[in-house]
């Protein structure tokens, strides 16, 4: 039976191989069939590239730049229409990641000098030069880009022109402070949005506040305008009105403002929820990350903290600080082996001269792993840096054979429950009561009598 099955399988495989050879041998096709086959192959290839572009675009919108790069890597770099779009997307990704030189370089191919392609990339190149503080190149790019895109902008490049004023230190930075020019600004929703953004960018919120009542009714139907107004009220200290404007808005910026409002009222759990939503709407929101990481520690959300910290880009946070925080979180989760790997990396980065806080983490990590030799080393090092706990552990390590194992015992080691908060409370010092066995006056009388006797 087994021999029959082997023969059948060999026959099927040989038949399939022969069929594949027939399909691959061009002698079996006429010219029309070959052309059709090539067209179908090209269509399938291009369809795959278009799908990759769509997925990359979606990832960029969601702020997932690494995912966007992954999809773009599936598209070859030879110059065609798809590859040009790929280069535009890469330029945008590098700009989001604040790598402005790479953003400019991504669209440096001569084909982008063609007017129909240049107008699609000149704005991002101009803003990159603005961020690099390259005034001369920025002004050159600004003039060229403005002339190419002016007719295509519904706002007459209002934002771009004011940014040029900022770069060139123009004193009239915030336009629309006079009544006549305000009518034009408040009469157009898109320009109103730009004007409100500029008031925030230039720290001129108080100027904008004077004109908010003049906004037309339809302006308040725009969630973006209400979000900007809420931000203006938040910046100027009117927390109640800020919350009223953004309460029903679901966006990263709105959730960040709500979270900040909850922080002000010390509602940490609610603030944590808002910052989580902000990261849901924009996974790389720097404002949300900067605020949620301390809350993770405060609320002891260790597993979520590890996941959020993994999303932090190294160029936005100090790599040493990020690694130290990741180590602390792993220690709190009792992932001591992983924490040890981090500590070794930190030691390499600092070339053996690590800060006290890192040595204290290493001391505790080795203590929990039951490594008395290393506990002795790190307790000595921390004690020499005047750390009280390190000195206490150095002394305790001489008393106990393996202090780490003692900490892991299930039975009660201490006579009463240990509470570190007791050591943080300032003690009231009361004077000692002295019991008098001999009255001082009696001593003085005896001394006087002795003097008289002599």
pLDDT digits (tens, 9 = 90+) for 246-273: 988 888 889 999 999 999 889 999 999 9
Q: Rounded to the nearest 10 degrees, how much is the dihedral formed by the CA atoms of 106, 112, 118, 122?
A: 20
pTM for the predicted model, two decimal places: 0.63
> What backbone phi and psi angles, to 5 degrees, belong to 372?
-60, -35
CA distances from 280 to 62, 192, 218, 223, 252 (A): 9, 28, 29, 18, 8
> What backbone phi and psi angles, to 5 degrees, belong to 443?
-65, -40
Pick from 368, 394, 399: which is nearest to 383 by CA?
394
Q: Considering the chain, what is the average pLDDT of its residues?
A: 79
Burial pattern 99-134, b for ≥16 Cβ within 10 A else e, equals ebeebbbbbeeeebeeeebbbbbbbbbbbbbbeeeb
The per-residue pLDDT for 136 is 83
171/185: higher pLDDT? 185
Taking residues 31-51, report their average pLDDT. 60
Residue 22 predicted with pLDDT over 50: no
CA distances from 397 to 377, 380, 382, 384, 385 (A): 11, 10, 14, 16, 18
361: tokens are: 């983490």
What band does 215 get if pLDDT is binned at 50, 70 and 90?
A: confident
Phi-psi category of residue 439: left, alpha or beta, with phi > 0 → left and psi -120 to 50 → alpha: beta
pLDDT digits (tens, 9 = 90+) for 297-312: 899 888 888 888 877 7
pLDDT digits (tens, 9 = 90+) for 374-432: 888 888 999 998 888 889 888 888 887 777 777 777 777 666 676 778 777 887 888 87
């Amino acid at each position: 039976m087994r021999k029959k099955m082997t023969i059948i399988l060999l026959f099927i495989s040989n038949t399939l191989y022969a069929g594949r050879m027939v399909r691959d041998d061009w002698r079996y096709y006429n010219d029309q069939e070959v052309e059709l086959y090539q067209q179908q192959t090209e269509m399938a290839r291009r369809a795959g590239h278009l799908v990759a572009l769509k997925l990359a675009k979606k990832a960029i919108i969601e702020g997932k730049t690494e995912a966007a790069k992954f999809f773009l890597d599936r598209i070859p770099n030879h110059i065609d229409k798809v590859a040009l779009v790929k280069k535009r997307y890469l330029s945008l990704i590098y700009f989001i990641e604040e790598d402005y030189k790479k953003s400019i370089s991504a669209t440096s191919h001569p084909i982008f000098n063609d007017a129909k392609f240049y107008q699609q990339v000149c704005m991002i190149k101009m803003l990159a030069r603005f961020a690099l503080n390259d005034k001369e190149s920025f002004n050159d790019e600004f003039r060229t880009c403005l002339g190419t895109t002016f007719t295509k902008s519904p706002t007459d490049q209002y934002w771009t022109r004011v940014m040029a004023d900022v770069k060139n230190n123009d004193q009239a930075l915030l336009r629309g402070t006079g009544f006549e020019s305000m009518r034009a600004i408040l009469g157009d929703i898109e320009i109103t949005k730009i004007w409100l953004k500029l008031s925030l960018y230039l720290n001129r919120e108080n100027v904008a506040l004077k004109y908010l009542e003049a906004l037309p009714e339809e302006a308040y139907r725009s969630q973006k305008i209400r979000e900007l107004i809420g931000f203006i009220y938040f910046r100027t200290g009117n927390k109640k009105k800020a919350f009223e404007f953004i309460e029903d808005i679901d966006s990263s910026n709105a959730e960040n403002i709500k979270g900040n409002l909850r922080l002000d009222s010390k509602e940490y759990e609610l603030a944590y929820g808002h910052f989580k939503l902000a990261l849901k709407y924009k996974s790389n929101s720097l404002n949300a990350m900067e605020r949620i990481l301390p809350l993770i520690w405060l609320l002891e959300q260790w597993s979520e903290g590890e996941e959020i910290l993994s999303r932090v880009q190294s160029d936005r946070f100090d790599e040493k600080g990020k690694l130290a925080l990741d180590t602390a979180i792993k220690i709190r989760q009792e992932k001591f082996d992983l924490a040890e790997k981090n500590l070794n990396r930190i030691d390499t980065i600092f070339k053996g001269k690590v800060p006290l806080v890192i040595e204290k983490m290493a001391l505790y990590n080795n203590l929990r792993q039951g490594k008395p030799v290393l506990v002795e080393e790190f307790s000595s090092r921390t004690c020499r840096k005047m750390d009280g706990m390190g000195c206490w552990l150095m002394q305790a390590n001489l008393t106990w054979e393996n202090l780490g194992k003692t900490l892991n015992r299930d039975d009660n080691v201490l006579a009463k429950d240990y509470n570190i908060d007791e050591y943080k409370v300032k003690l009231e010092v009361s004077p000692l009561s002295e019991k008098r066995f001999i009255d001082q006056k009696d001593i003085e009388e005896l001394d006087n009598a002795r003097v008289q006797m002599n």
